[in-house]
């Protein structure tokens, strides 16, 4: 799968995904630090990448209907500490398996993943 990590997440998360065989880049890799949501969505669409973010705005299915996107993963966790985010990322990688995120919103919480279509 192809992922784009938002600038609000540690770069190590993209490396974890890449080490697991995914194509993973970051908004920062493309010099888009501080870019607005529309610009980030546009680049994900043009590259056919799944957006991974802490930005809860992307969990609003009225503003971002999942079926219009290659997939979105929004972290809603108890703490944004780097170590915790990396631990949750390892769990997320284990849940991906043969899943397709196309047209889906995955909301990753501390102890579960909710999927919206």
The structural domain count of the chain equals: 1
Query: Cβ distance 3 to 49 under 8 Å?
Result: yes
The per-residue pLDDT for range 83-109, each reduced to its tens digit, is 999 999 999 999 998 888 999 999 999
Range of the domain at 76: 2-116
- Rounded mean pLDDT of the chain? 94
Beta-ladder partners of 105: 72, 116
Average pLDDT over every residue of 71-89: 96
Q: What burial letters (b/e) apply to 38-68, b meaning 16+ CB within 10 Å?
A: eebbebbeeeebbbbbbbeebbeeeebebee
Euclidean distance between CA atoms 44 and 64, whole angstroms:
13
- The pTM assigned to this predicted structure is 0.94
């Amino acid at each position: 799968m192809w992922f784009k990590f938002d600038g609000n997440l540690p770069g190590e998360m993209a490396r974890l995904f890449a080490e697991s065989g995914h194509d993973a880049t970051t908004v920062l890799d493309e010099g888009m630090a501080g870019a607005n949501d529309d610009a980030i969505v546009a680049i994900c669409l043009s590259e056919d990448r799944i957006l991974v973010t802490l930005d809860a705005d992307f969990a609003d299915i009225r503003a971002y209907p999942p079926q219009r996107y290659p997939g979105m993963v929004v972290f809603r966790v108890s703490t944004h500490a780097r170590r915790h985010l990396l631990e949750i990322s390892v769990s997320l990688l284990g849940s991906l398996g043969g899943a397709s995120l196309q047209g889906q919103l995955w909301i990753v919480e501390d102890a579960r993943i909710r999927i919206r279509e």
